[in-house]
Amino acid sequence: MSSVAGAMISEAEMKKIAKGLSIRDVRLAKIIGAHPLCTLGQDPKPVTHFEALVESVISQQLAVKAADTIFGRMKVLAKGRIVPGRVIEISEVDMRAAGVSGAK
């Protein structure tokens, strides 16, 4: 299911919309036919811009596995949600223990 302006749209509905657009516009039909359906809003746990930024900073110059481990520890420290209010509550000592370097 995806969400458009708060309304849920199923995959079947997305296919119906794509088919309707393809029928009305031959040029658009070629583009639609060459690409998978839009999946915007289909992630049941969307990542905020802030969370993506934190993950990006943590992963700089690290192996993927190490970055994933450190980010997972940070999520635990932030009680499951990486948002500014929770991150600011994490002590520097705890962040360092999780693997976040002083520079980050």
What string of pLDDT tens digits covers the 104 residues of the chain?
444 455 566 778 888 888 999 999 999 999 988 988 876 655 556 678 888 888 888 888 678 888 889 999 999 999 998 889 999 999 999 999 999 988 77
Mark whether 29 and 60 lie in a shared domain: no
Buried (b) or exposed (e) across 13-27, using 16+ Cβ within 10 A?
ebeeebeeeeeeeee
Mark whether 26 and 55 lie in a shared domain: no
Residue 38 lies in a domain: no
Residue 29 lies in a domain: yes
Number of domains in the chain: 2
| pTM to 2 decimal places | 0.49
Structural domain containing residue 8 = 2-33
Mark whether 57 and 94 lie in a shared domain: yes
Mark whether 54 and 93 lie in a shared domain: yes
SS3 category, 9:
strand
Mark whether 29 and 64 lie in a shared domain: no
**Cross-strand pairs, 3:** 8
Question: Is residue 12 exposed (0-12), middle (13-18) or buried (19+ Cβ within 10 Å)?
Answer: exposed
